[in-house]
Amino acid sequence: MFTKGYTPYSKGRKRSKKDNSSRNPSWFQAGTKVKSEGLTSKQMPDSAGACTSYVRQTLQSPDCKEATGHICTLRPQATADLEREESKILHSGMRYIDSQLTISLINTNINKHQVDSPSCPKFISDYHEQKKWGTCWQYTLKCINCGFIGDRMKMYKEIANGKPGPNPGQPNVALASALQDCPIGNTTVQQLLAGMDTPPPCRSSMQRTSSKVAAEMVKLNKTDMAQKLELVKEENRRRGVPENEINITVDARYNSNTIVSKKKPGQNATQVFALGIETITDRKFIVAAVVQNKMCWKGAWLRGKGFPIECPGHEECTANLYRAAALSEYELGKEM
């Protein structure tokens, strides 16, 4: 902070745009005297006008003999083809592509090259462009001799969903469905793919695919349990007993190894999943499944922001039980 009556040395002067140094040498001309409080006058040397500058990608600085010399080169490989090196890096590594579609890609580009570039003696292919679609890839080939560029082709099979927009790839859906029954998540899959030198898909796209696949798997499981229940009812009808009287055993699993918690009152678990298994047939079909969940990320986030939100009850709530309520296997049995 400047004291009263103090005049900065740079007042009224403009810094030159050609100078990259922290202090413009025009402020102190060579041969002038500089005074400061508590210090004696000092003659500025003539070499004070020298400054550090960049000249043709080479860092230069004055030495003790008032001569400039090279310190280091900023671009040791100035003649390198950076675009070609970047292209090699982008197209290197492992990729998951369909073997049949790979043959189709090569044959299609060779045939089109003969039609579009008849003067080219030989089709020497190289990658022109690639597009990542989750774990799937789309490739475009080109000819190095004549510059021919083929059409972009999908190297994966699709699943027709009848909705607007691109169809999902089979490998993406297969990966999401396999993760539903695995103890690993999307982040671990990214690490595994990166360790195999394969560009991993985006975690947000993996989460969207997992959410859609999970919803479809719930519908599929409900349909399958309804079919198994009809088989059990048919067995009761053959035995001459009421079809709705089905003996079952219930098995529940919690998301905690202990019932009580050392950090909070009440139960330590926040989720419980119960299965109803029939004992009439020898197949022991699963005919019912019930979940009690007290976890809701959106509700917790809204309460942290000060909104009077309670779970369950708000929009897109994932909880079906109040967060202070107790998990009860008796209630699970009644819901079955």
Residues in the chain: 336
3-class DSSP state of 125: strand
The tens digit of pLDDT for each residue in 58-102 reads 444 444 455 555 455 555 555 555 555 555 566 778 888 999 999
Residue 242 backbone dihedrals phi, psi, to 5 degrees: -55, 135
Region 170-186: what's the mean pLDDT? 90
The tens digit of pLDDT for each residue in 254-310 reads 988 888 888 888 888 999 999 999 999 888 999 999 999 999 989 999 999 999 989
Q: Is the dihedral of CA 250, 255, 258, 264 positive or negative?
A: negative
Residue 146 in tokens: 């004549």
Residue 266 in tokens: 């009440």
The tens digit of pLDDT for each residue in 222-260 reads 999 999 999 999 999 999 989 888 888 988 999 888 888
Residue 88 in tokens: 């090699």
266 backbone φψ class: left, alpha, beta (φ>0; ψ -120 to 50): left
The tens digit of pLDDT for each residue in 162-171 reads 888 889 999 9
pLDDT level of residue 16 (50, 70, 90 thresholds) = low
The answer to whether the peptide bond before residue 201 is cis (omega within 30 degrees of 0) is no
Q: Taking the CA of residue 229 as centre, how many other CA atoms within 13 Å lie in the half-sphere pointing to its CB?
A: 15
Asked if pLDDT for residue 155 goes beyond 90, the answer is yes
pLDDT at position 60: 46
CA 243 to chain centre: 50
Please classify residue 153 by burial: count the beta carbons closer than 10 Å to its beta carbon, then call 0-12 exposed, 13-18 middle and 19+ buried: middle
User: 204 and 186 in contact (C-beta within 8 Å)?
Assistant: no
β-bridge mates for residue 289, sequence order: 275
Asked if pLDDT for residue 44 goes beyond 80, the answer is no
Please classify residue 175 by burial: count the beta carbons closer than 10 Å to its beta carbon, then call 0-12 exposed, 13-18 middle and 19+ buried: buried
The whole-chain average pLDDT of the chain stands at 79
Residue 210 in tokens: 């997992």
Asked if pLDDT for residue 15 goes beyond 80, the answer is no
User: 41 and 7 in contact (C-beta within 8 Å)?
Assistant: no
pLDDT at position 41: 46
pLDDT at position 92: 76
Distance CA 55, CA 77 (A): 16
pLDDT at position 72: 52
